[in-house]
Amino acid sequence: MTGLKAAGFPERAVRARARNGTAEVFPPADGYGAELYGAEAASGTDALDRARIAPPVFMPRRLEKLIELGREPGHDDVDLRTEVGGFASELPLFLSAFGSTRAGSGDLGVAASRQAARLGIPMVIGENMVPVHGYRRAGADGADGARSALLARIAAYTEAVPDGVGGVVVQQSTEDADSEVWNLVYSDPGTRPLLESGRLAFELKTGQGAKPGLGGMTVVGRAEGARLAGRFTVRDVLGGGSAADADPAGAEGAYLLRCATPGTFTEEIVRQQLRFMRNNFPKARTWVKFHPGRDVAQAAATAWRAGADAVTVDGAEGGTGWAPRVFLDQVGLGLADCLRLIAARTAGAGADRPDAAVDCLLATGRMWEGGRAVRALALGARAVGLGRAALIAVDEDPQEGLVRLAGALALEARLLISALGKYTADALDAEDLWWPGGGRTPVGAGTPAAVPGALS
């Protein structure tokens, strides 16, 4: 039957699955740690990039700025400083969460931390750093003199950040909670300068854009898989079977899939978790990260009502992309839809409406240049996160790559905001965007009245 053809059917994909089995469910394992996946899948359905930034002809705010300055204003007069989840930030940016992956927990993660600090923007440290790499202070008993990956990133950031700006955010997943990560960080002498200056936050992670509804996934070798099997689900991606009894010396070159649990969340659980965070860590800010679920607006409103300092929404474009292919291609809402749903819920008066002085919406997912950032800000985000782009930037230049990338993004943002006749990032609004087909409502977004400022 090897000569059988199937016109109009994905024959190659079926043959690959018949040949390689469960390995075909995921991207190529041999590229893990050296490649970032998911961008191609997201780009084909990314509505946010299709919106046009539409300056008006008449610009009353430019006149106000002219009167204030006593001269014609330019793009250099745009002030990008903003408040991000309780932290002062020089730009409407933050460094997105890199977790226990090889890139995020290694030299690239430290380089990115140091450059984010120099930029004066907050940094988020992702999940599973302690369950995978342990927690040890330099010079502590039993340590080899080197800090753990988590503390190395915090130290690099703390040493380089200017006074009065930035902040460090430490995520916690289910496995992190078992390792008491927040307790360790909160009580560590090394984090005291951040804590006393109000620049430490903890983020409850409920999901991520690359794989909504699933926990974190990474690729590990057999020796590491055997070590982690007691804390994580570790499977052979080439045919099944637990790695608990795997022979570390056998099957050289084979890869195993390490899976974290996604955690279980309801409205009440989120409220209780935030109450726990405030009561047990009163000097730390409280953040929550949601995956791009269909009820993301309800989730954001729940977190804000419970006192969260920031809600991060990770669109389906987000994450480094190590996930089952079907998730990269078919699961989760795009970032534009997430922001639209939240805007629709918070458009009217009432308890769900965020107070701009208190509540903070953050957006992540395929951010790398000023146009996309401005669109997200216009749809209600206070700041945007650099994830995949930041890793590529520090890989290109560990000393200046992220600084230059952020500088280019900031220049584009200033030019665009000035062209709209506005002079702060928080002055952007949905009225500044025009969607394909004509109008201020994204195609497929429902009734125009669902979005503030929409045309009838």
Q: Could you tell me if 255 and 32 are in contact, meaning their C-beta atoms sit under 8 angstroms apart? A: yes
pLDDT confidence of residue 96:
92
Angle at 309 (CA atoms; ends 261, 118), nearest 5 degrees:
90
Closest listed residue to residue 253, CA positions, set 103, 101, 25, 29: 29
How far apart are the C-alpha atoms of 209 and 366, rounded to whole Å?
10
pLDDT value at residue 178: 86
- pLDDT value of residue 33: 58
HEC assignment per residue over the chain? CCCCCCCCCCHHHHHHHHHHHHHHHCCCHHHECCECCCHHHHHCCCHHHHCEECCCCCCHHHHHHHHHHCCCCCHHHCECCEEECCEEECCCEEEEEECCCHHHHCHHHHHHHHHHHHHCCCEEECCCHHHHHCCCCCCCCCCCCCCCHHHHHHHHHHHHCCCCCCCEEEEECHHHHHCCHHHHHHHCHHHHHHHHCCCEEEEEECCCCCCCCCCCEEEEEHHHHHHHCCCCEEEECCCCCECCCCCCCCCCCCEEEEECCCCCCCHHHHHHHHHHHHHHCCCCEEEEEECCCCCHHHHHHHHHHCCCCEEEEECCCCCCCCCCHHHHHHCCCCHHHHHHHHHHHCCCCCCCCCCCCCCCEEEECCCCCHHHHHHHHHCCCCEEEECHHHHHHHHHCCCCHHHHHHHHHHHHHHHHHHHCCCCEHHHCCHHHEECCCCCCCCCCCCCHHHCCCCCC
Band (443; pLDDT cuts 50, 70, 90): very low
- Lowest-confidence range among 2-6, 89-93, 244-248, 256-260? 244-248
Contacts 24+ apart (CB under 8 A), 224-230: 224/256, 224/258, 225/256, 225/258, 228/131, 228/132, 228/258
Which whole number is the average pLDDT over 160-181?
A: 93
pLDDT at 38: 60
- Kindly report the CA angle at 405 between 209 and 215, in degrees rounded to 5? 20
Residues forming a β-bridge with 43: none
- Does position 2 have pLDDT exceeding 70, yes or no? no
In this structure, what is the dihedral angle of CA atoms 20, 21, 25, 27, given to the nearest 10 degrees?
-20
pLDDT number for residue 252: 43
pLDDT in tens, 349-390: 344 444 444 579 999 999 999 999 999 999 999 999 999 899
Mean of the pLDDT values across residues 396-416? 96
Describe the crossing of helices 370-378 and 401-419 by its angle, rounded to 10 degrees: 50
Contacts of 144 by beta carbon, 8 Å cutoff, 6+ apart = none
Tell me whether residue 224 is exposed, middle or buried, using C-beta atoms within 10 angstroms of its C-beta: 0 to 12, 13 to 18, 19 or more. middle
For the chain, give the percent of residues with pLDDT over 90: 54
**Contact between 331 and 281 (Cβ < 8 Å):** no
pLDDT band at 324 (very low <50, low <70, confident <90, very high): confident
User: Backbone phi, then psi, for 306, in 5-degree steps?
Assistant: -85, 0
Helix axes 335-345, 370-378, angle to 10 degrees: 20
pLDDT average, residue stretch 338-354: 72
Looking at residues 32-54, what average pLDDT do you find? 70
Window from 37-41, 258-262, 327-331 with minimum mean pLDDT: 37-41
* pLDDT band at residue 328 using 50, 70 and 90 as cut-offs: confident
Q: Which of 215, 349, 205, 213 is nearest to 294 (CA)?
A: 213
Tokens at 104, concatenated: 């995020």
| pLDDT for position 399 | 96
- 383, 92 in Cβ contact below 8 A? yes
pLDDT of residue 31: 64
Q: What is the residue-averaged pLDDT of the chain?
A: 83
Among 115-129, 204-218, 268-282, the range scoring the smallest mean pLDDT is 204-218
Give the lowest-confidence range in 64-68, 135-139, 267-271, 329-333: 135-139
The answer to whether the beta carbons of residues 287 and 201 sit under 8 Å apart is: yes
304 pLDDT band, cuts 50/70/90, is: very high
Task: Count the neighbouring beta carbons within 10 Å of the beta carbon of residue 350.
Answer: 9
d(CA 188, CA 381): 32
pLDDT at site 376: 97
Domain boundaries, the chain: 30-208+264-450, 217-259
Q: What is the Cα–Cα distance from 54 to 431, expressed in whole angstroms?
A: 8
- CATH superfamily placement of domain 30-208+264-450: Aldolase class I (3.20.20.70)
243 or 17, which is more confident? 17
Q: How far apart are CA 110 and CA 160, in angstroms?
A: 11
43-58 mean pLDDT: 85
Top-confidence residue, 318 or 445: 318
Tokens 């503030």 sit on residue? 452
Residue 218 has what pLDDT?
76
pLDDT at residue 276, rounded to an integer: 96
The answer, yes or no, to whether residue 287 has pLDDT greater than 70, is yes
* pLDDT tens figures, 116-133: 999 999 999 988 888 878
Instruction: Reply yes or no on whether the pLDDT at 444 is more than 50.
Output: no
**Distance between CA atoms of residues 4 and 12, nearest Å:** 12
pLDDT (tens digit per residue) in 190-202: 999 999 999 999 9
Question: Can you tell me the distance from the alpha carbon of 379 to that of 340, in angstroms, rounded to the nearest whole number?
Answer: 7
- What predicted TM-score, i.e. pTM, was given to this entire model? 0.86
Residue 102 binned pLDDT confidence (cut-offs 50, 70, 90)? low
